[in-house]
Amino acid sequence: KEQEKRLKESEERYRALVEQNLVGIYIVKDGVFKYVNPTAAELLGEEPEDMMGKSPLEYVPKEEDRKRMKENIRKREEGEVESIRYSFTAETENGEERILETHGTRIELVDGPAISGAMVDMTEDVEREKKLRTQKEFTEDALDAIQDMFVVVNSEGKMVERNRIFAETMGYEDEELEKMNVLDFFEGKDNAKVRVSISEVLETGSATVETDMIPKEGEKVTVRWKGSTLYHPEEGEVICAVGRLAD
């Protein structure tokens, strides 16, 4: 009797933990929901009791997502894989679309295999990433519209950004430029001048220098560079430099 009491208390603590969890928890068996906690139901705009016996596919409007979800459920129910993490677009009862990420694992119940999983709302994160990508694309397009050479380098000369004119003038492909240091385009006294200018910009905030640059092919080109400092979210303090071909 004491053992039964402890078991009941343990079950109650576990249920309380699951019911109050900020992550959506669910169990799917035979292709339908057998359990969802309040958070999972809220993510789909439902009450927990109204979701019992429904297929998760009912909340997935996009055919591509439906096919992937159906296949992922099959793989786990048949024991092909133990667990899968993926994201999909869900539609709530009031028609709102949300991007959810779920991680479900095959479990064994008394009456057969099932899937126990968790899901979280990734809508804001995805929208934020989409906005950042759009901003980055706009910035790249704006830089490519500049008719002068433009490059952003860190204190070691690593190129963080550059525009189309820079690549075309130097004659290198983007894949090649990714591996290069800005100092690779200068030799001898010009290389030393650029090193001094980098230090000057970092110390004073700006600097101007005229140097010869070495393109991949052809003759050297003389460029007047003007650089200033800027804070980069990943690299920290960097140097933005605009270069104009000398007459």
Each residue's pLDDT tens digit, 146-163? 889 999 998 888 898 899
**What are phi and psi for residue 91, nearest 5 degrees?**
-120, 125
Share of the chain above pLDDT 90, in %: 57
Domains 2-121 and 136-245 agree in fold: yes
- The alpha carbon dihedral of 42, 43, 46, 47 has a sign of negative
The answer to whether the beta carbons of residues 211 and 225 sit under 8 Å apart is: yes
29-75 pLDDT, tens per residue? 999 999 999 899 999 999 999 999 999 999 999 999 999 999 999 99
Q: Of the candidates 59, 74, 68, 66, which has an alpha carbon nearest to the alpha carbon of residue 86? A: 68
Q: Of the candidates 52, 49, 62, which has an alpha carbon nearest to the alpha carbon of residue 32? A: 52
Residue 110 predicted with pLDDT over 60? yes
Q: Of the candidates 138, 143, 145, which has an alpha carbon nearest to the alpha carbon of residue 159? A: 143
Q: Tell me, what's the pLDDT at 234?
A: 81
Q: Tell me, what's the pLDDT at 16?
A: 47
How far, in Å, CA of 238 to CA of 226, rounded?
14
Residue 244 predicted with pLDDT over 60? yes
Residue 6 predicted with pLDDT over 80? no
Mean pLDDT, residues 87-105 taken together: 92
Residues in CB range of 83: below 8 A, 6 or more apart: 76, 103, 104, 105, 106
The mean pLDDT of the chain is 87
The answer to whether the beta carbons of residues 245 and 221 sit under 8 Å apart is: yes
Give this prediction's pTM: 0.58
Q: What is the largest CA-CA distance in the chain?
A: 97
Confidence of residue 10 (pLDDT cuts 50, 70, 90): very low
Residue 191 predicted with pLDDT over 70? yes
How far, in Å, CA of 155 to CA of 150, rounded?
16
Token readout for 172 is 């290198």
Topology classification of domain 2-121:
Beta-Lactamase (3.30.450)
Question: Tell me, what amino acid is at 130?
Answer: K
How far, in Å, CA of 227 to CA of 151, rounded?
9
Q: Of the candidates 89, 110, 109, 92, which has an alpha carbon nearest to the alpha carbon of residue 27? A: 109
Confidence of residue 197 (pLDDT cuts 50, 70, 90): very high
Residues in CB range of 46: below 8 A, 6 or more apart: 92, 93
Q: Tell me, what's the pLDDT at 247?
A: 59
Q: Domain segments of the chain: what residues?
A: 2-121, 136-245
For the domain covering 136-245, report its CATH number.
3.30.450.20
Q: Of the candidates 197, 33, 49, which has an alpha carbon nearest to the alpha carbon of residue 116? A: 33
Return the number of other C-beta atoms located less than 10 Å from residue 90's C-beta: 25
211-235 pLDDT, tens per residue? 999 999 989 999 999 999 988 888 8
Residue 198 predicted with pLDDT over 80? yes
